[in-house]
Copies of this chain bind each other. A is one copy, B any other.
């Protein structure tokens, strides 16, 4: 039932209409681990630099995230700076400094290699392949990617896609990957091209998420938030909640997968309420349960009969 997450651990500087945060804890691996920690005990593999505050690693450990796989290398931590407009769907990247991520070679600690569940957060597909090569006994693997890899390392990306069970994409990426604008067809195309792929999840930010499988279709609308202070990490939080739920249930049947999407949505909805992982620091299970129940309630309607 072990859950392994491989992704970035970063320092982010974020500016939104609600304020600024300078060199706060960020990274896909970070957000996914925090989110997953509400349901499971994630093991995180990543790389940081000498400038990475020990207190940030402590923060992860305080959520019972196993950070034995987070190595500290000479040099600086991966750094990202971005700015969101009044319409927080509009984001500009101001700086991306790969730093130690440039030469990251993910080594999965021996004790993590028999994990049953794996989330390959958005990193170079060649590194995602290296991770897959080091694991044995995986029951279900989820990957994330981004337009940069789709455009520049398509061959390696296709090899990863051929070895995972689920892929997370936003609608732009789904269209870019398949060349078709209709999302249903894009998902069908991916399932057809990659026979071992079971699930395509299209994350649509404020518009919710859609899960396509060979059995059918499931979707949740976006949950309307009163406060959107910083959307950074919402997608990775969704992923973490999703794989965290699956890991906890130790199942990937249809019932569990649908619950997993709901778990991901509920968790991600809190991420946006504050900068970095700050909202997760005060979030407790009962709030998360209430959010999941609200999400369930907000799509219920009586059968139409006439």
Residues of A near any B CB (own CB < 8 A): 39, 86-88, 175, 181-185, 187, 204, 206-208, 210, 212, 216-222, 224-226, 228, 245, 248, 255, 258-259, 261-263, 266, 285, 289, 292-293, 296-306
Contact B181 A87 (CB under 8 A): yes
Residue of B nearest to A202 (CB): B224
Bound: A138/B262 CA distance, A: 40
List of B residues within 8 angstroms of A222 by Cβ: 207, 219
A217 shortest CB reach to chain B, Å? 5
Task: Give Cα distance in the complex from A164 to B180, angstroms.
Answer: 41
Copies of this chain present: 2
Query: Contacts of A285 on B, CB cut-off 8 Å?
Result: 306
Known A39-B306, A184-B226; contact A219-B298, beta-carbon cutoff 8 A? yes
A120 to chain B, nearest CB (A): 25
Most buried by B among A183, A217, A219, A262: A219
- The reply to whether A301 and B306 form a contact with Cβ atoms under 8 Å apart is no
Q: Specify the chain B residue showing the minimal Cβ separation from A249.
A: B306
CA distance A184 to B273 in the complex (A): 14
In the assembled complex, the Cα of A124 lies from the Cα of B197 at a distance in Å of 51
Say whether B221 contacts A221, CB under 8 Å: yes
Which B residues touch A207, using CB under 8 A?
204, 207-208, 221-222
Closest to A38 in B: B306
